[in-house]
Amino acid sequence: MAIPIQSRTSETFQALFYQVLGLPFDNSTKKNCDRDAMKIVIVHHFYKNGAASGENTVVEAHVRALRKHGHTVTLIGRYSNQTLNSRLEKLKVGFTWAFNMGQSPWRQIKEFEPDIILIHNLYPGFSSRWIRKKEIPRIYWLHNYRFFCLASTFIFQNQECLICAQSVSYKSLIRKCADGSILKTVSTYLRLKMNRDLPERSELDHWVALSPKARNLFLQTSLKSKSMSIIPNFVDSNDVMPTFLSDKWVFVGRLTAEKGILALAKNVPDSIQLDIYGDGPARAQLEVICANKTNLNLKGDLDRETLLDLLPNYTGGFVPSFGVEGIPTTFLEYSAAGLPIIGWEVNSTSDFIDEYECGITLKNFRMEAIADAVSMIARNRAQFSKNSISMWKSEFSESKWIQQVNDLFDSVINNRNLEH
């Protein structure tokens, strides 16, 4: 692995010092963070402020963790609220996205001279043409399916939809799959239709999927993947054991139909108290449902730190998404808080829930099935909670993540060296 010149120089002087004293010098005694120190660029277009975005939170956490463990990290970011303030600007961004003519971060990358480049999101302001410049290893973190699907979810009308997995279909235009927006739909359709060999689909050293189900879904697409790893994201734990002070369940997430919150709200039994945190386009529909069900409490948005402090007080958490997201950040936060979890078989949480026995996975939204799952957890929630914490430690902790990414960096750079 590449070591900065300054580190190599100090190591040389240290070796000479030991030699003068007649002592053996073993550089394997250096701290792991020093030995593995690298210069890393992260490229990410941040989603609009005010819209809950687990992806933004994840990127910021990655930057902090990499720096904490000795790497030198530069974040090259753009922000949607800086570019989409007027109709004219939206048209301009739509045009540049369609023709892959957005901003290139290459000049900033070259000035920093990194050992490796990590790409998280290019939409809507970054071009991907620069990815064809191959002198620096490039890894893409696959948070969603925007390379292929106008909705970026592979979901249509709450069902898995793969009609664009190999080649974008005209049906996505008719359906206005990109958030129901004509501009977003047309610009993304043109991008995928006219640029069949987008660099982000073929020109990278490595791709990272966030869950086994997500990886399997990517392998059904036209992604020309030479190599793909599964590295889930991580969240911190506040080391507070679950208290179960309130006999309530919780949902946290963006309020959209594909997140499953409307189906959950309609079908959760009246005997189950459910607090709902988040905001989004389905809020108005949810307000109507909540007005007729006294067991539902629409809490709105909370800052993340306050929310994390509240989670250990709940009986358990729901993850009712209809599709295979990478992996919902909420799921990791439930696990870190020691909450038993009810997930759905179709989404990316089910493999983890079943393996660690930290909750129940359901096949449908039948009221009886939800009630039975809640009752089953209530009978042994201490064990479910213990298993949930065990899952977090094994899969979603920072220490696990940094070990995996350091191994990945080693592998990618070693493969590059072998090729040359």
Residues in the chain, overall count: 420
Shortest CA distance to 44 belongs to which of 140, 130, 184? 140
Shortest CA distance to 409 belongs to which of 37, 63, 8, 144? 37
Query: pLDDT tens, position by position, for the chain (420 residues)?
Result: 333 333 333 444 444 443 443 444 444 333 344 446 999 999 999 976 544 467 888 999 999 999 999 999 999 998 876 555 677 878 888 899 999 999 999 999 999 999 999 999 999 899 999 999 999 999 999 999 999 999 999 999 989 999 999 999 999 999 999 989 999 999 999 999 987 789 999 999 999 999 999 999 999 998 987 799 999 999 988 766 666 667 899 999 999 999 999 999 999 999 999 999 999 999 999 999 999 999 999 999 988 889 999 999 999 999 999 989 889 999 999 999 999 999 999 999 999 999 999 999 999 999 999 999 999 999 999 999 999 999 999 999 999 999 999 999 999 999 888 876
Shortest CA distance to 48 belongs to which of 123, 127, 141? 123
Model's pTM, two decimal places? 0.86
Q: State yes or no: cis peptide before 340, omega within 30 of 0.
A: no
Exposed/middle/buried for residue 37 (C-beta within 10 Å: 0-12, 13-18, 19+) = buried
All domains of the chain in start order, with CATH: 31-233+399-419 (3.40.50), 248-396 (3.40.50.2000)
Q: What is the dihedral of CA 157, 341, 284, 59, to 10 degrees?
A: -80
